[in-house]
Every structure is written in structure tokens, then in C-alpha cells.
Amino acid sequence: MTDTVRQHHRHNPPAGEIPVPHGPEVGNEHGHYPAGGATEQERTIFAHLTHPDDCYTADGVYWADLPFRKRVAFVNKVQNEETKKELAAIGRMMKADPLSPLSWYFRNAVLPGAGLGLEGYVLFSIGNLEPLFKAAWPTCWGKKPTECDANWIASVTYLEVVGIMVGQTAVGIIGDWIGRRWGLIQDAAIMFVGLLMITASWGLNLNGWVICYAWSLFFYGFGVGGEYPITATSSMENAVSAGKLSTREDRLHRGRKVTMAFLMQGWGQLINQAVLILLLLILHHGDGNPPYGTTTVQWIWRLSFAIPAVGTLWLVYYRAYKMPHASRQLAAAKKKNNVTGYDVESLRLAGTFFGGRLLATAGTWFCNDVFFYGNKLFQAQFIAVISNNPSSVLTGWIWNLYNVIVSLAGYYVASILIDNKFYGRKMMQQVGFLMCFIMFIIPAFNYEYYTSPAGIKSFQAMYFLSSFFNQFGPNSVTFLVAGEVFPTPIRASAHGFAACIGKSGALLASVLYNYIDTQTKFYVVPWFGLAGMFLTWLFLPDTTGLDLKEQERRWAYIRSGRDSEYHGIAIHPKHLSLWERLRGVGKNYNPELDIKQKIEDMREEWAGKERLRRQREAGGEPAGPEELDDEDWTEQVNEYFRQTTDEGLVTGEGSEKGKSPARELRLSEKSGSESA
């Protein structure tokens, strides 16, 4: 192959000018293939595009088609080489600047996940502050409030969750309708205003303050809910894969990239708990034990919300001025389909073709949130037995800090293994659900023993293990796959819907637990883990190692009503759910036919690039900032397309019915030059 020559032209032509993908054709050597498959010349030229070496063997066999032993050897070889390459890169970075790996992590994990970090800080602060409020204002937050309405006390949780659910759905639609960038800026602005409202919430009496506090949380929750679909989709569609035919980084590390952003939620929880502990020790002027003065409590909780307000204001600035291209891939997808607003047709088709995936993502998220909320059941029980001072708010906060650290470890292990082809998304979620089920079912049927001094250590271990496997499992995977298994035009909507259904699981738990005792809770909760594992096994496809560009290619065929003509790896049995395989979705998988299709699709894409480039040059327009160089288009590929198209014009041979866009482009150029 010749060296890569970057071409300054757009990945997609103007709206309405690119035709639907052509199916395989039989013809001559000029890109129109003999019945036996693509020519050797074409295989050689396009090998690095159609058969990247991290997915295919030297013989052109996809890794999932290899016999088991060869598959293990191939995958291990690729992963070992990638690990060595990354370690060498880290070594070079540290040699040049010892702190450069930290700056890389800040750019690639902290910044993309900053919104989720702030969200984790604030939302978990609500639960952390409740025992402090109960200690300071027992007539309002106690078990039998006399000064406040019990319904409004309960509404603090309900309105927060409902606000998140509304935001997840609404901002998911906004993200697909107006754009990812607008959604990112809007969410940060709403969260900033919401934090100001929470910090300044007040009332003529305690009940009035609770009402103001609850509605402020609802408003803030709307912005928080929007963070889920917007952060997930923008993390997936950033410059790593946007604008390019295919990237090695996307295939090998997409899951890690998204999970590293998501785990900032865990850091938000950790920082919040640490800040509250420090504020209590500083302002309470003692060892953190009760009684707590109301003035001190006021300062603690208001300062704890004022701190993230500063970070959120900076986030508004960063998203408004430093993320100008967040909507680029969505805009490209809309141009392909000549859509200017919300792509209703894609939504309809997604419901037809991906209904099982929607059930998988929404259903498993629902089960996970019941578990995630149910995990908190352990805390009060084992703290009461283990601690010498269970009435101290500080004691509960310290134990919660331990739990957050364990959870954070689960996030990081998930980011390491989520792209592993032998573990990956689907297996990780199934194992996580299974382990959570086990960690709850054991104490459910021997509750008295595990809550006694004799069994409390085991109870504590199961509590921490359930936290670990919840993060190293469904909590991380649901966030990733809820957007990953759907096409670009409706990705944020699908993610937002799944997240909203998931959050209804938390709402169900918060309501249900008010009416059943602790023993009954342990009988109820485990079965959601079993249900989540079953839904994952039956309905969730495994997208580990699958390039999102290949999914978009399949979607182009679906969108044009020619789903049966797609033969690529997006319908390989490895990347389909059991439900999809039973319905025969993978029956058209055919590697030989797919090679032909890929080359013809690239020809069409090249023609569109050429057309747009020439139009801009003719108009004297510079390339837009979103028109990045495309590293996948080499000089040899471009020259091959030019030569075969020109020869096709001379012989009268071309693509379907002689109306290839490439052919039309060259014909118009020839006519123009002859006229001149």
C-alpha cells in the first residue's frame, strides 16, 4: 500500500445527492465483479479497508468465523500487540513528560464524563444528606413528622426521579432532533441553574423549605436525565470514529472510552462523600457525633451544593466553546437520508427491526435500577451491628465511602474488560446480574443469621461484592449498549427511552419499599437480577469488537428498504441476539458477497466526496471545520476509482443501469472539458 494521503473533502455529499447502497453486481474487471468474487487487484487494494488486521486473518477470515482454538490465538495476538503498543506509547509520553498520561486521562475521560461526575456528586448527595436532616430536624424528616407534610418529604425522592425520567426522554429526542451539541449545552445550563435553586432553597417554615427543595431537585433532575443519552452518544460519536470509514480505535476501545466517561459518576459519589465528611468535621467542631446544630447543618448542605455549581458553570463554557463538532456524525447521517428535523422514518424502522434490542436495553436497565436501589438495603443493617456508634451520621458516611471505593473499582475493571472479545458487554452483564442475584438471595432465606453479630461479616462481604459486580456488570454495560446497538439518527432517543424505563425501576423500588418490611424486600429484590440475566441472554446482541461504521452501513440498507441485500458482519451470529438469530436475521451473512458490496459502497462514497469537493472548489469555499482528513482513503484507492470509472465510460460499462454517480461525475467533467 502507498502511504496515506489525506484528502480534504467531506465524508458525505449534500443531502439528497447520494444514492442508496448498490447490491453486488457481476461484470468486468473494472469494479464490477465476476461471479467468483472480487478480483485479486481489488482484494489487494482494498484489504486494509475491507479486512483490517485486528478483525481478519491474513486470509481474510473474520475472527468470529475461526475455529475456537484459532480464534483464541488470533484474539490474544491482537490484544497482546495492542497492549504492547499502548504501554510503549505511555512510556514515550512519560519520557517526554512524566505528567502527560494524567493530562491524556483528563482529556479523554474526565472532560467527556464531567457532566456525569457532577450528576453523581449531586444526586447521591441527596441520599447522603437525609440522615443529617433527620438528626437536625426530627419533627420534619423523622419517621413521624409533625412539622412537615409526610407526602412532601417523600416527594423529595419522587420528584427527583421523575425529573430525571422526563429529562432522559425529552433530551434524548432533542439530541436526535436539534443535535448533540445543543443537548450538551442545554443540560449543563439546566444543571447550573438547578444547583443555584437547590443551594438557595428556602421557605417561611420547614415545610415550605421542603417544597422548594423538592421542586428544585425536579428541575435539576431534568438536566441530569439528559446527561445519560447525550453523554453516551457524544462519547461514541466523537472524532475517534466520526467522519471516517472505519477506525481501529473504535473497534478495540469504544467500550473503554464510553465507560471511562461513565465512571466519572463514581468519582462524583466519592468526592461528594469526602466533601460532606470534611465539612462535618470542620463545621461541627468535634468528632462528628450528634447532636447537630441546625445552623451547622445549613452551612454543610448549602456549601456541598455550591461547590459543584462552580464546576457546572465551567462545564457550560466548555461545551459551548470547546465542543463545536459534537453533532457532526448526526448531521452526516441526516444528510444521507435527506432529513432536516427529527428522523421519524428511522424511528419507525428501528421499532420494526430493533424491537428486541429496545426490550433488552430498557428491560435490563429497569432490573438494574431496582437492584442498584436495593443495594442500599444492606447498609443500615450491617452498620447497626458492626458500629459502636450507629447513631452518628459520620459513621454511616464513612461506611458509605468504603462502599463507593469498592464500586469505583468495579467501574475500572469494567472499562478494562468491556472490549475483551471473550468477555465483553454481554457476558459482563450476565455475570454481573447473576452475582447480584446470588449476593441477595443468600441473605434473603437466612436473614436473621446474617444480620446477627455472628453473620454480619459475611453480610458485609456480600454487600461490598454486590456493589462491585453491579458496576462491573449491568450498571456500566446498560449505559453503553443502550446507544450502541441503535443507529445514529435515533441513538439518543433510544438511549433516553431505555434510561427512562430504567429509572422507573428506581421509582418502583422507592415506592414499594415503603409498604413492605426488610425481610420481604430481600425476598423481592433478587429476582430482578435473574430477570435481567434472562433478558440479556435472549434479547441483547453482543457488539464487542463490532465497528459502529459497519452498523451504520447495515442501517443504510434497512433505511432504503433493502435489508435482505446486506451481507456484512453486522448480521454475523456473533453480533446478533438469540432472539434475532431465531428470527433468521443472520441468514444473509455472506463474506464473499460483502466484499463486493463494500467496494461498490466505497465507490459511491468516493463519488460523493469528489462531487462535494469540486463544488466547493468551484465556489471558492474553504473546507468546513467538520471536514476532517479521512485517513482511510489512500492514493491508490482514489486512483483506482478514477481509472475504473474513466474506463467504464469508454466501454459503456458502469454500475447499475450505467447510472453510477461516479460515472455521472466523470461524464460531466469530460463534457465540460470538451466544451471548453
CATH architecture, domain 104-539: Up-down Bundle (1.20)
The dihedral of CA 356, 358, 363, 365: what is its sign?
A: positive
The pLDDT value given to residue 381 = 59
Distance CA 467, CA 452 (A): 21
Q: Is the peptide bond before 291 cis (omega within 30 degrees of 0)?
A: yes
Chain mean position to CA 273: 25
Cell of residue 265, nine digits: 459518576
Calculate the alpha carbon distances from 129 to 28, 125, 214, 540, 584 in Å: 73, 6, 14, 37, 52
Calculate the alpha carbon distances from 511 to 377, 570, 667 in Å: 14, 41, 69
| Residue 531, phi then psi, degrees to nearest 5 | -65, -40
| Residue 56, phi then psi, degrees to nearest 5 | -125, 150
- Single out the residue of 362, 415, 370, 367 nearest to residue 540, CA to CA: 362
Identify the helix (H) or strand (E) that includes residue 254.
helix 248-262
- Single out the residue of 658, 651, 637, 494 nearest to residue 4, CA to CA: 637
62: β partners: 56
Q: Helices marked H in 375-490 — which ranges?
A: 376-386, 393-417, 424-444, 447-450, 456-470, 476-484
Name residue 333's amino acid: A
What number of other Cβ atoms are within 10 A of residue 455's Cβ?
A: 18
Distance CA 107, CA 100 (A): 11
Distance CA 563, CA 576 (A): 15
Domain ranges of the chain: 1-55+587-676, 104-539
- Cα-Cα-Cα-Cα torsion 35, 40, 44, 49, nearest 10 degrees, comes to 0
- Single out the residue of 431, 532, 437 nearest to residue 472, CA to CA: 431
> In 45-113, at which residue ranges do the beta strands (DSSP E only) sit?
none
Calculate the alpha carbon distances from 233 to 179, 183, 224, 489 in Å: 11, 11, 15, 11
- Single out the residue of 120, 116, 65 nearest to residue 274, CA to CA: 120
**Tens-digit pLDDT profile for residues 515-565:** 888 788 888 889 999 999 999 999 999 999 998 888 989 999 999 999 999
Chain mean position to CA 285: 43
The pLDDT value given to residue 284 = 84
Cell of residue 140, nine digits: 420534619
Q: For the chain, what's the residue count? A: 676
Cell of residue 262, nine digits: 461513565
> Environment class of residue 294 by beta-carbon count within 10 Å: exposed (0-12), middle (13-18) or buried (19+)?
exposed
Low-confidence spans in the chain with pLDDT less than 50: 1-36, 239-245, 624-631, 648-676
Distance CA 175, CA 636 (A): 38
- Cα-Cα-Cα-Cα torsion 508, 511, 513, 515, nearest 10 degrees, comes to -130
> Environment class of residue 439 by beta-carbon count within 10 Å: exposed (0-12), middle (13-18) or buried (19+)?
buried
With contact defined as beta carbons under 8 Å apart, do 439 and 469 qualify? Answer: yes
With contact defined as beta carbons under 8 Å apart, do 344 and 488 qualify? Answer: no
Q: What is the pTM of this model?
A: 0.83
Distance CA 572, CA 578 (A): 12
Cell 435515533 sits on residue: 490
Three-class SS state of 112: coil
| Radius of gyration of the chain from its Cα atoms, rounded to whole angstroms | 28
Calculate the alpha carbon distances from 232 to 395, 491, 496 in Å: 35, 9, 10
Q: Helices marked H in 263-327 — which ranges?
A: 264-283, 294-321
With contact defined as beta carbons under 8 Å apart, do 255 and 418 qualify? Answer: yes
